[in-house]
Amino acid sequence: MLIIILSLLLAYLIGSIPSGLIIGKTFYKVDIREHGSKNLGATNAFRTLGIKPGIAVTLMDILKGTAATLIPGLLGADIHPLLAGVLAAIGHMFPIFASFKGGKAVATSAGVVLGYEPFLFLFLIVVFFIALYISKYVSLSSMIAAVASLTYCFIFHLDDWPLIVVIAVLTIFIFYRHRANIKRIMNKTEPKIKWL
């Protein structure tokens, strides 16, 4: 039981690492929580800091989810790796290291998928960029990729109910965290990207 608790705690703490805050303050002397959407996620890092730091934050957030998913196996904990992944996503959204005000868990959720089912990860990346190319909305593309991933699971992984449940939970997380974005998209006030 102790090793299970330790695994879940570590997963949450890894998810809580505020990548955007670390990159912004360390290399640019900028607290991204004071700029743009005031969000700690990768999208605001791109918007506030630029492309290179945005990519760095995205990769760090993805790796948080992947690392957390691998923890149970590394520690020999008798729990499903996806459970640890969910804790990482929660940590990203409500990080103990940043006053419980984090990002929207898109990149971290993708990292969870990468750690468990790499082909699904590649699928959601392709869907995300196709949706982004068409819509120019990062938020909408994230939600479309989440729904597409859940659909993929129902088609190709119907026997893997833990994966279906976790992808469904992560999809709910993503939609919930994008409530304001959905309203802005409907009102046509959501910012569009200009680099694609």
With respect to residue 158, please indicate whether it lies within any of the assigned structural domains: yes
Task: Check residue 194 and report its DSSP letter.
Answer: S
CA-to-CA separations, 17 to 14, 31, 68, 128, in angstroms, rounded: 6, 15, 12, 24
Within a domain: residue 193? no
Residue 43: both structure tokens together: 């999208």
- On the question of pLDDT at 196 being above 80, the answer is no
Residue 111 lies inside a defined structural domain of this protein: yes
In a domain, 81, yes or no: yes
The CA–CA distances, whole Å, from 114 to 50, 174, 181, 187, 190 equal 25, 17, 26, 34, 29
Q: What is the pLDDT of residues 82-120, one digit of tens each?
A: 999 999 999 999 999 999 999 999 999 999 999 999 999
Using CA atoms, how far apart are residues 143 and 172, in angstroms rounded to an integer?
9
Q: pLDDT tens digits for 64-78?
A: 999 999 999 999 999
Which of 26-40, 130-144, 182-196 is the most confident on average?
Answer: 130-144
Query: Has residue 192 been placed in a domain?
Result: no
Q: What is the mean pLDDT of residues 20-49?
A: 92
Q: Which two tokens stand for residue 47?
A: 């918007």
* Residue 147 pLDDT class (50, 70, 90 cuts): very high
What is the mean predicted confidence (pLDDT) over 124-151?
97
Quick check: is 122 in a domain?
yes
Look up the domain containing 134 and give its range. Answer: 2-186
List, for residues 16-31, the tens digit of each pLDDT value: 999 999 999 999 999 9
Domain count, the chain: 1
The C-alpha atoms of residue 48 and residue 21 are separated, in whole angstroms, by 11
Rounded Cα distance, 115 and 65, in Å: 7
Question: From the CB of residue 67, how many other CB atoms can be counted at a distance below 10 Å?
Answer: 21
- The pLDDT, as a whole number, for residue 149 is 97
Confidence of residue 37 (pLDDT cuts 50, 70, 90): confident
Cα–Cα distances (Å) from 22 to 8, 83, 170, in that order, read: 23, 26, 24
Token pair of 165, please? 């449940």
H or E stretch at 23: helix 19-28
**Position 194 in a domain:** no
> pLDDT at position 194, please?
82
**Three-state DSSP class for residue 126:** helix
- Residue 196 within a domain: no
